[in-house]
Amino acid sequence: MSMNPPEGPANRTSNLADDDFMAILDLDAFRATPLTEAPFQYLVTPHFIAREQARAVLQDFPRIEVPGLLPLEATDPGPLFRALIDELTGREITAAVSEKFGVDLTGRPTMITLRGRARERDGRIHTDSEAKLITALLYFNEAWEAEGGRLRLLRGPDNLDDMLAEVPPLLGTLVMFRRSDRSFHGHEPFVGVRRYVMINWMTSSLTAQRELMRHRLSAQAKRVLSHV
DSSP state of 16: -
Rounded to an integer, the average pLDDT of 200-228 is 57
Give per-residue pLDDT as tens, 115-137.
999 999 999 999 999 999 999 99
User: What is the C-alpha separation between 24 and 57, in angstroms, rounded?
Assistant: 8
Distance of CA 65 to the CA centre of its chain: 18
Confidence grade of residue 1 (pLDDT, cut at 50, 70, 90): very low
User: What is the C-alpha separation between 193 and 116, in angstroms, rounded?
Assistant: 6
Confidence grade of residue 52 (pLDDT, cut at 50, 70, 90): confident
- Residue 16: other Cβ atoms inside 10 A: 16
Decide if pLDDT at 104 tops 60.
yes
Residue pair 184/127 in contact (Cβ under 8 Å)? The answer is yes
Distance of CA 119 to the CA centre of its chain: 18
Confidence grade of residue 3 (pLDDT, cut at 50, 70, 90): low
pLDDT at 210: 58
Least confident residue range of 24-28, 39-43, 49-53? 49-53
- Residue 16 amino acid letter: L
- Residue 127: other Cβ atoms inside 10 A: 18
Residue pair 23/51 in contact (Cβ under 8 Å)? The answer is no
Helix 79-88 and helix 91-101, axial crossing angle in degrees, nearest 10:
40
Among residues 111, 14, 122, which one has the least CA distance to residue 72?
Answer: 111
Decide if pLDDT at 222 tops 50.
no
Residue pair 84/57 in contact (Cβ under 8 Å)? The answer is yes
Is the pLDDT higher at 138 or at 5?
Answer: 138
Domains of the chain: 2-226 (2.60.120.620)
Rounded to an integer, the average pLDDT of 9-25 is 49
Whole-number mean pLDDT of the chain? 86
User: What is the C-alpha separation between 174 and 132, in angstroms, rounded?
Assistant: 17
